[in-house]
């Protein structure tokens, strides 16, 4: 190769190098202007049917250790039996919602007076126990409702909350094993999940610490129910 050809090829190579650097800088600038959007991995914990004299206390201890907050949808019958646990739930910064007094099938109740009686009995008891007004969050027992129920709850000022993840943990005398619970709760968790657990479950009380650790290891963080937009009806 003679000197003239070498100079020419060197010149072309420099031009190509400069063009490549410009393309890289332009791409970087474009990426900086257009960030990649990722769904935030937040989940909300909710507990139904309590308070339970043993298992609710264990759940509270587990969450207190990690500074995790949840929403407890309490039953009036249980709250009347264990008012000190109701007070503790509130004092430790958890939300408390209304799960009715007697745990009936609310979809079978068509008149507003009977519907309101179930909710008012709980809210009145809550105010008597804590000296505070109850947050107007409502979850129908077993998730059973009618469109009329939703309208009545709204008229009474309640927001109705359902869930997006649950498993069969409510049979007190037929509790799932820890392995069965993990298989359901770890494989089905998803960003924005509203998790329904029962605070009457011995399995939930036993696995909670490990469960929270595993979810955290998967990149999830625990958020108040108010931060998640679904599935709520008002």
Q: Check whether residue 125 and residue 195 sit in a common domain.
A: yes
> Do 76 and 182 fall into the same domain?
yes
Residue 171, SS3 per DSSP: coil
Please indicate, yes or no, whether residues 6 and 86 belong to a single structural domain of this protein: no
Same domain, 14 and 128: no
Do 30 and 114 reside in the same domain of the chain?
Answer: no
Count of structural domains within the chain: 2
Indicate if 48 belongs to the active site: yes
How would you write the pLDDT of the chain (234 residues) with one tens digit per residue?
444 443 443 343 444 433 443 333 333 333 333 333 356 899 999 999 999 999 999 999 999 999 999 999 999 999 999 999 999 999 999 999 999 999 999 999 999 999 999 999 999 999 999 999 999 999 999 999 999 999 999 999 999 999 999 999 999 999 999 999 999 999 999 999 999 999 999 999 999 999 999 999 999 999 999 888 544 444
Q: Indicate if 54 and 117 belong to the same structural domain.
A: yes
Token pair for 166: 């649950």
Q: From its phi and psi, is residue 135 left (phi > 0), alpha (psi between -120 and 50) or beta? A: beta
pLDDT the model gives residue 34: 30
Residues 46 and 129 occupy one common structural domain: yes
Helix, strand, coil tally for the chain in percent (to 5): 50, 15, 35
Q: Of 23, 48, 94, 190, which one is the catalytic site residue?
A: 48
Domain with 7, as residue range(s), is 1-37
Looking at the DSSP assignment, which residues form a beta bridge with residue 221?
Answer: 42
Residues 83 and 194 occupy one common structural domain:
yes
Residues 175 and 86 occupy one common structural domain: yes
CATH (domain of 183): 3.20.20.370
- Residue carrying structure tokens 């650097």: 21
List the catalytic residue out of 23, 169, 198, 217. Answer: 198
Answer yes or no: do 83 and 111 share one domain.
Answer: yes
Cis peptide before 202 (omega within 30 of 0): no
The predicted pLDDT at position 229 comes to 55
Note whether 90 and 203 are same-domain residues.
Answer: yes
93 CB-near residues (< 8 Å, 6+ apart) = 69
pLDDT given for residue 20 in this prediction: 44
Are both 28 and 108 inside the same structural domain? no
Q: How far apart are CA 229 and CA 115, in angstroms?
A: 26
Structure tokens at 198: 């029962």
């Amino acid at each position: 190769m003679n000197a003239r050809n070498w100079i020419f090829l060197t010149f072309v190579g420099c031009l190509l190098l400069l063009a490549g650097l410009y393309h890289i800088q332009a791409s970087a600038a474009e990426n900086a202007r257009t960030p990649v959007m990722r769904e935030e991995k937040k989940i909300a914990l909710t507990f139904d049917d309590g308070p339970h004299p043993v298992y609710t206390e264990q759940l509270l201890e587990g969450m207190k250790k990690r500074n995790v907050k949840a929403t407890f949808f309490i039953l009036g019958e249980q709250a009347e039996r264990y008012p000190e646990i109701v007070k503790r739930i509130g004092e430790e910064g958890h939300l408390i919602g209304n799960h009715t007094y007697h745990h009936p099938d609310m979809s079978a109740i068509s008149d507003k007076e009977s519907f309101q009686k179930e909710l008012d009995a709980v809210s009145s008891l809550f105010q008597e126990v804590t000296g505070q007004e109850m947050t107007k969050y409502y979850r129908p027992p077993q998730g059973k409702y009618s469109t009329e129920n939703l309208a009545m709850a709204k008229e009474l000022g309640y927001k109705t909350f359902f869930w997006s993840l649950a498993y069969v943990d409510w049979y007190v005398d037929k509790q799932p094993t820890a392995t069965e619970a993990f298989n359901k709760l770890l494989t089905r968790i998803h960003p924005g999940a509203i998790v329904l657990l029962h605070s009457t479950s011995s399995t939930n009380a036993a696995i909670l610490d490990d469960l929270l650790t595993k979810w955290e290891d998967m990149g999830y963080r625990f958020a108040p129910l108010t931060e998640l937009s679904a599935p709520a009806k008002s």
